[in-house]
Structure 1
Amino acid sequence: MSASLTLGAPDHLDKLVTLVTAFHEEAGIKMTDEARRRGLAPLLDGIPHGAVYLIGPPRAAIGYVVICFGWSVEFGGLDAIIDELYVRPGVRGRGVASEALLALPRALAQGGLRAVHLEVDRSNASAVKLYTRAGFKPRDQYMLMSRTL
């Protein structure tokens, strides 16, 4: 199974809403489809703050990854956070997510990206293992904190 990445475009919105809904249901994230559309559409329209990639063949995507861009003095320039990564349950365990996590940073580095970050539930051992295999390392002295506005 291939984890080829395709940059999301406006015509992928309905397909992505379906995938995002599946992820949100699995993760316990409560949101309306309209709110999901509002969160995805600008990324698909090409705003410079982030991008959505479909994983697998665009006509029958098996997952997606959302990446949001920022700037870091510490890392010396453009950085990004993987906001969401999802692979359909039926194809998990076949290396698809690992392949995507290795391909995405390599491709983005060519565009000047200096670092990629992500957030993971420490108790999710399989996710921690996946991200570690893909080269991500914990920053134990730091913790992500959020404030909803």
Structure 2
Amino acid sequence: MPTVTFQLVTLDTLNTLIEFMRQFYAHFNYALDESKLAAVEQLLQRPDYGRIWLIYYDQQPAGYIILTFGYSIEMHGRDALIDELFIDGQYRGKKIGEQTIKFIEETCKQMGMHALHLEVEHENIGAHRLYRRLGFEEHERHFMTRWLE
């Protein structure tokens, strides 16, 4: 039976991550620029900000997940955000996303996190179904951003 495993990204595996990021960003027509790559490098240097894992399916790189950390009074203290989750197209439909979310939930519990958040594109119906099935709830709020740069 194929196994799903996770490996923290290091400088040795950074190129694999970047290639997956290029696919992810192209899929959603996002720009992958130097500032985003610099943020990845900063995250690798500051594990107190979050973690990045490559996802392997039967020992083959199949995607990645980026988890960042925060703190919220409303969420009872430390919380985490699944900032990006990407599974290569050839590996979708194999329950890798579900196993990845369960891995992240356990990791967050071990780290003392009280809540786990994620964002999903409105049109990504498959992801919506998966996340609801795994216990994620929608809020009657709008995620808003004010860029500070």
Q: Under a length normalisation based on structure 1, what TM-score does the superposition of the two structures give?
A: 0.90
Conserved in 1, the CA contact under 8 Å of 2:80 and 2:108? no
- Structure 1 gaps of 5+ residues are none
| 2:12 partner amino acid | D
Counterpart for residue 28 of structure 1 = 29
Conserved in 2, the CA contact under 8 Å of 1:55 and 1:65? yes
Counterpart for residue 147 of structure 1 = 146
Whole-Å Cα distance in 2 between the matches of residues 106 and 16 of structure 1?
A: 22
Shift of 1:36: 4.0
| 1:52 partner amino acid | I
Conserved in 2, the CA contact under 8 Å of 1:17 and 1:36? no
Conserved in 2, the CA contact under 8 Å of 1:3 and 1:97? no
Percent identity over paired residues: 29
| 1:130 partner amino acid | L
Q: Under a length normalisation based on structure 2, what TM-score does the superposition of the two structures give?
A: 0.90
- Structure 2 gaps of 5+ residues are none
Whole-Å Cα distance in 1 between the matches of residues 10 and 113 of structure 2?
A: 21
Report how many residues are paired. 147
Counterpart for residue 80 of structure 1 = 80
1:1-149 to 2 correspondence within 5 Å?
Answer: 1-32=2-33, 34-56=34-56, 60-140=60-140, 142-148=141-147, 149=149
SS of 1:117's partner is strand
Spell out, residue by residue over 1:41-82, the C-alpha distance to the aligned partner (whole angstroms, 9 max, x if none): 12222341111011116x732100001100010111110111
Whole-Å Cα distance in 1 between the matches of residues 117 and 104 of structure 2?
A: 12
> Which one is further off, 117-126 or 78-87?
117-126
Kindly indicate which of the two structures has a greater share of residues assigned to strand.
2
| 1:104 partner amino acid | I
Conserved in 1, the CA contact under 8 Å of 2:50 and 2:69? yes
SS of 2:40's partner is helix
